[in-house]
A and B are shown apart, each in its own frame.
Chain A
Amino acid sequence: MFERVPYYIGVLLKGATVTVGITLGALAIALALGLALAVLRTTRLPLARPFVRSWVEVFRDIPPLTQLFIIYFGLTYVGIRLDPFTAAVVGLGLNGSAYCAEIFRSGFSAVHHGQREAAASIGMTPMRAMRFVVFPQAFRVTLPPLANYAIGLIKDTAVASAVAAPEILFRARNLTSETFETPLIYLLVAILYFCLTFPIARLVDRLEARRKAWA
C-alpha cells in the first residue's frame, strides 16, 4: 500500500513550490497595499477614512473563494483573462490587504502619540516621523499578527485548486483520479500543509513569549 508514497510526495512537493509561490506573491501585494491603506487612513485627506474602512470591510467579509472566482471567471466578461496562478496571487493579495491594513492600523495606534509629536518638535516631516519613529516601534507589535496572517494565507491558497492552479491540492486531486488511494493522498496533503504552517506557528509563539517578557 505504501510503495507509491515517494512518488506521491514527489508530485505533491512540486505542488508545494507553486503553493509557496502563490503565498509569497499574495503576501507581497497584501503587505504593500495594506501598508498603503493604513498610512492613507492616518492622513487628513477627505474621504480617506471611509474609503479605507469600506475597503477593509468588503475584502474581509467576502470569502476568498468568491473573490478568486470573480477575478478568474467574472473578469472574463469584461475581457480580462488571467492565468490561474496570477488570479490566485491577485485575489488572495487583495483579500489579504484588508487584514494587513487592520494589523498595521493597530500597530500604528499602539505607538504613543507623544512619539509623533516629539518627532515633529525636532523638525521631522510626517513621512520621516513615520519612517524613523512610528514604523520601527509599530513593527514589533505587528510581527506576531502578520505571521498569523501568513499562516491563514498558506491555508487559503488551497482554494486556488478550484481555478486549476497547479498547487498542492490540485495535484492531489489529479493523483486521486489516477489511483484510488484517496485517503492516503489527502493525508499526505494534510501533513504537507501542516509542515508549511507549523514552523510559522512556532515562530508566533516565540515572538509572543518575547513580547510578554518585555512587557
Chain B
Amino acid sequence: MSLLAELQAFFAVYALKWPEWSGPMGRAVIVTLQITALAYALGLVVGLVVALGRLSRNPFLRRAAAVYVEVARGVPALVVLFLIYYGLVPLGVVLDAVPAAVIGLGLSAGGYVAEIVRAGIGATHRGQREAGASIGLTPLGVYRFILIPQAARIALPPLVGVLIAVLKDSSLASLISAPDIMLRAKDISSSDFLPLHILLVAGALYFVLALPLSAAASALERRMSRGLKSRP
C-alpha cells in the first residue's frame, strides 16, 4: 500500500469514530478548562500573597515566602498532586481528584507567580514608592495606584506564560483520575485499541487551547515593551 493510501486509511478512522468520541472528549475539554481556570486563579492569589511576603519588612515573613518559592519551583507538580491526592488519605484528608488537582497545580503555580510579581514590583524605582508616600498615599494606596500599574506592564506577559504552563500541567490531573482530556483519551485508547488516533486528538486539543494564549503572550510582550527597549 502506498504511503498516501495508508494515510487516507489512517484518517478515515476519524470519520468513523468521531461521532462516538466527540461527546466524551468535549466534556473532557470542559474539565481541563475548569481545572486550568481554578488552579490559575488559586495560583494568582497564592503568588500575590507570597510576593507581598517577600517584599515585607518582617524578616520571618520574607524567609517563609522565599522558602515557599524555592520549594514550589523545585518539586514537580505531579509529586505535589500525588502528595495531596494519595498522601493525605492516611491523615484523614480525602479529596476528589478535581479539587486535589486544582489545589496542587495552584500551589505549584503560586511559586512562579510570586517570582514574576516580585520582579515586576522590584523593577519599579524606589523613588516611586517614596513619591507616593510623600503625596500622602497610604502604603496600600501606593501599591494600588503607583506600583501595580507599572509592575503589570512587566509582569503581564510572563503571567500569560504561567497560564499556558498550568493548562499543560492540568494533563497531570489525569494521573490522579480527574476526567480531563488525557484520562478520556486513555480510556478511549484502551477500549477502541486506537491509541495513536485518540492521543493525536488529545495533542491537537491542547495545541488548539494553548495556541491563542501563546500568541497573546507574544503580542503582550511586544505591546508592553513599547518605549522600554529603546533605552540603552
Interface residues of A (CB under 8 A from B): 57-58, 60-67, 69-70, 73-78, 151, 154-159, 161-162, 169, 172-173, 176, 180-183, 185-187, 189-190, 193-194, 197-198, 201
Contacts and interface: CB of A to CB of B under 8 A. Distances in A.
A180 to B, nearest CB: 6
A154 B78 CA distance: 12
Given A63-B170, A63-B171, A183-B88, 5 more contacts: A57-B211, A172-B82, A190-B71, A193-B76, A194-B75
Given A74-B200, A159-B172, A194 B74 contact: yes
Interface of B: 70-71, 73-80, 82-83, 86-91, 164, 168-172, 174-175, 182, 185-186, 189, 194-197, 199-200, 202-203, 206-207, 210-211, 214
A185 to B, nearest CB: 8
B172 A74 contact: no
Given A194-B71, A194-B75, A198-B70, A64 B203 contact: no
A57 B74 contact: no
A66 B171 contact: yes
Given A182-B90, A183-B91, A70 B199 contact: yes
A74 B195 contact: yes
A189 B182 contact: no
Contacts of B164: 61
Given A58-B207, A155-B75, A194-B75, A69 B83 contact: no
A61 B160 CA distance: 13
Given A65-B172, A74-B195, A190-B80, A201 B206 contact: no
18 contacts: A62-B206, A62-B210, A63-B168, A66-B182, A69-B186, A70-B200, A73-B189, A77-B197, A155-B75, A155-B76, A157-B76, A158-B76, A182-B89, A183-B90, A186-B87, A189-B82, A190-B80, A193-B75
Contacts of A155: 74-77
A181 B207 CA distance: 39
Nearest to B169: A63
Contact of A187 (B70, B87, B169, B189): B87
A181 B86 CA distance: 10
Contacts of A73: 186, 189, 195-196, 199
B196 A78 contact: yes
A60 B214 contact: yes
A74 B89 CA distance: 33
Contact of A151 (B73, B78, B182): B73
A74 B90 contact: no
B52 to A, nearest CB: 21
B172 A77 contact: no
A135 to B, nearest CB: 25
Contacts of B168: 61-64
A75 B196 contact: yes
Nearest to A78: B196
A103 to B, nearest CB: 14
Contacts of A64: 168
B79 A62 contact: no
